[in-house]
């Protein structure tokens, strides 16, 4: 009798799903992709503000100038993991609209990695906020 994993119900070969390589009814694959996305989001948030602040305070502008590339690199990694998760679990790329949002955000990340001017970074931050609000709005409009 052929075993099937719960993630995509594909026949198993040697104890692994032939579609995604998961073990134990898809939990290994699901946990792996979810934890990678969570890890990149956590590190992205962690580099946003300094861990320690001395009594004299901290110059957040200078801190941002020194660390913004890490932020955008982890943001880009989060986007890559998000698309990879759909490929791994569903066997296909996300919908076209979802991919467009990912591509726009990825382009913004590359711009954030490339341009050091503070004014550009401020405009980019507002742009990211607007794109993310539109993305969430688009996702919720499909939940009916």
pLDDT digit string (tens) for the chain, length 144 residues: 344 444 544 454 455 555 555 554 444 444 455 566 678 778 878 888 888 888 888 888 888 888 899 999 999 999 999 899 888 888 888 888 889 999 999 999 999 999 999 999 999 999 999 999 998 898 888 776
Is 93 a domain residue? yes
Is 11 a domain residue? no
Q: What is the Cα–Cα distance from 80 to 70, expressed in whole angstroms?
A: 15
Is 26 a domain residue? no
Question: Total structural domains in the chain?
Answer: 1
Is 119 a domain residue? yes
* Residue 61, domain extent: 32-141
Asked whether 90 and 7 are in contact (CB, 8 A), the reply is no
| Rg, Å, the chain Cα set | 19
Q: What is the Cα–Cα distance from 95 to 5, expressed in whole angstroms?
A: 24
Q: What is the Cα–Cα distance from 73 to 2, expressed in whole angstroms?
A: 42
pTM value is 0.69
Element (H, E) at 74: helix 60-90
Estimate to the nearest angstrom the gap between the alpha carbon of 48 and the chain centroid. 16
Is 104 a domain residue? yes
Asked whether 101 and 131 are in contact (CB, 8 A), the reply is yes
């Amino acid at each position: 009798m052929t075993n099937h994993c719960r993630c995509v119900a594909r026949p198993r070969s040697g104890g692994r799903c032939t579609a995604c390589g998961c073990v134990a009814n898809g939990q290994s694959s699901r946990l792996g992709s979810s934890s990678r996305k969570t890890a990149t989001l956590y590190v992205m948030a962690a580099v946003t503000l300094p861990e320690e602040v001395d009594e004299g305070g901290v110059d957040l502008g200078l801190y941002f100038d020194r660390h913004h590339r890490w932020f955008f690199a982890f943001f880009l990694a989060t986007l890559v993991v998000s698309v990879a998760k759909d490929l791994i679990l569903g066997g296909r790329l996300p919908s076209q609209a979802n991919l467009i949002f990912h591509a726009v955000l990825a382009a913004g990340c590359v711009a954030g990695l490339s341009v050091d001017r503070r004014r550009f970074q401020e405009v980019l931050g507002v742009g990211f906020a607007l794109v993310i609000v539109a993305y969430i709005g688009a996702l919720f409009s499909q939940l009916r």
